[in-house]
Amino acid sequence: MNILFDKAPGEIYDVFSSLWILNNYEYAKEEMRQIGVEFNKNYENILLSLKSNGEIDKNKIERYFQEDLNIAKIFLQLDMWKYNNLNEYLNFLMSLNDNEIRERIVKAVADEDENKNDLEEVYASNESIMNYIKHKEINSSLKWEIFCLLDDRKKYMEDFVGFIKEYSKISKEVESVRNKEVAEFNLELQKKLQNFGLEYLRNITKNIIDFEDFENIYISSSICNLLFIQVNEKENTCCVLIGTEIKKYLEKNGGSNTLENNLKIFKNISDKTRFSIIKLLLEKDYYGQEIAKVLNITTATVSYHMNFLVLTELVHIERKEHKAYYSLNKNVLRNCIKFLNNEFKL
């Protein structure tokens, strides 16, 4: 097994993610607040100053970076880990042909339990993929963006890539602050990986994935996200983006029965959807699509809520038959009940 660090994928990822944050700032702040951390203050301030100066095309940022599944996620996929900088990756995106674009669309919107052979038939033509998209539970504005992309791939890609390149030019100060804040973290991260390897990865990822299953583990850093894991089963690789605020998160959540940690768990349980997920997992382990069907929600909604449940260790993830199964950590719930008993002398 090889553990390899590369700063470039994180730099590419943060360009796209910073645009998403700019378009969904309050939503992004709430996401971070719910897991008990905040954005890096220096980065947040410079990003907000960029938003207020009016240089960014408001219509395009709203088109490409919607709150939920968006067109940018169709472009930002695992292959970003193969490129040395943003321009290389954008040039790669421009080189994609019609079939490769259709395949990326299907990968972005397909459910976990869909047959891969059937999906190959879906992206065989524009007609088949539009019929497929028509029946997916995704917002109508994204369906329209996909239609526009399929209708004139070259023009759409020129517009999208042109927007990212223009943003890159006007956000040099944001990039400078980002790189300065991340530089020290990168040195510490590489040192930890060198000295502790898998032990360190298991600690920061809360054991949500069995790294020993993979031949290569690629690591990069991000200022925009706390933790982001992608798995490429075809190449037997796991790609992990580790956020600069992970240390603060671990320090806050290091105790097994601290007031703050238990309050976070209670906050998760108080959310109606997460409460329903927890009740469902009392029965047995489920994978994402099964949970979505039972609770009548989208798989994207399941993934969103699972981020919080996993980070508070209420839920564990285990990969079986190329699917991510979720299981309830009943010990965490039992410890919460003990905490209440002790605090309130019940």
Q: Which two tokens stand for residue 1?
A: 């097994």
Q: Between these two residues, 228 and 302, which has the higher pLDDT value?
A: 302
Task: For 183-281, list the strands marked E by DSSP.
Answer: 216-222, 227-232, 237-243
Residue 235: pLDDT band (50, 70, 90) is: confident
CA proximity to 209, closest of 229, 236, 190, 237:
229
pLDDT at residue 158, as a whole number: 96
In order of start, what are the domains of the chain with their CATH numbers? 2-243 (no CATH), 253-344 (1.10.10.10)
- Backbone phi, psi, residue 13, to 5°: -60, -40
Residue 233: pLDDT band (50, 70, 90) is: low
- Backbone phi, psi, residue 254, to 5°: -75, -35
Contact 228, 222 (CB under 8 A): yes
What percentage of the chain reaches a pLDDT higher than 70? 95
pTM of this structure: 0.83
Angle at 77 between CA 291 and CA 199, to 5 degrees: 75
5-9, 68-72, 109-113, 196-200: least confidently modelled range: 109-113
- Bridge partners, 320 (sequence order): 323
90 DSSP 8-state letter: H
Residue 43: pLDDT band (50, 70, 90) is: very high
Mean pLDDT, residues 136-154 taken together: 90
Edge-to-edge strand ranges of the sheet holding 315-320: 286-287, 323-328, 315-320
Cβ count within 10 A of residue 261: 20
pLDDT digit string, tens, across residues 242-300 = 999 887 777 766 555 478 778 878 888 888 899 999 999 999 999 888 898 899 887 77
CA proximity to 81, closest of 194, 306, 235, 198:
235
DSSP conformation letters of 279-346: HHHTTS-EEHHHHHHHHT--HHHHHHHHHHHHHTTSEEEEEETTEEEEEE-HHHHHHHHHHHHHHHT-
